[in-house]
Amino acid sequence: MDKELIREKIAKRAEQEIESISYVNLGIGIPTMVANYIQPDKEVVLQSENGLLGIGRFPLKEEVDPDLINAGKETVTATIGASYFSSAESFAMIRGGHIDLAILGGMEVSEAGDLANWMIPGKMIKGMGGAMDLVQGAKKVVVIMDHVNKNGDPKILKSCTLPLTGKKVVNRIITDRAVIDVSENGLVLVEVAKGFTIDDIVSATEAKLHVDENVKMGTY
């Protein structure tokens, strides 16, 4: 499947995690695409670390305002009633526990729910971003990413090898192949994407997977 179509598939499935009447933060990368798929009947307020409450969908070419951006420096639209403020106030919202859901990208997730998503040693990065605050402050953390890396190696591991963003912070993982919950007893496979089998998911995951007795097949 085309890479862009895979990203869209993950984003559409992640939208199902958003409940009506909630405050949500979308991380950089695939998570920002989720804004395009939020159902119109859901009352959702999207928050950005750089000081915007009420993010809308990505703009059409004629709607682009270069001064209106999200934390990933992408141009966005604002919903009716949106508000603008300093990043200090934005982080006060996050650290104060006022964000219901954070949907973040991931490089690695461990079987304990540890997340690594902010840097790769030796590679230039623009900054730490807000992920460390989000994983501690948001009421629920969902990580969305490819199931394996470019070399075909698992990204869901027994232990993360990259610098951690947070320990035991992930509640659910959504990949192009499966939906996996992080529980007190380890990782639980709850959904399998179209075109894959349970064995496919187990073989592409380094960490031990428990298969839910009601695991859903071909849901997205």
Active site residues: 49
Both tokens of 155, joined, read 């990204």
- Which residues neighbour 104 within 8 Å (Cβ) at sequence distance 6 or greater? 27, 31, 115, 117, 131, 134, 135, 141, 142, 143, 144
Which sign, positive or negative, has the C-alpha torsion 203, 3, 132, 125?
positive
Asked if 196 and 176 count as a contact pair (C-beta separation under 8 A), the reply is: no
**CA gap 214, 83 in Å, rounded:** 43
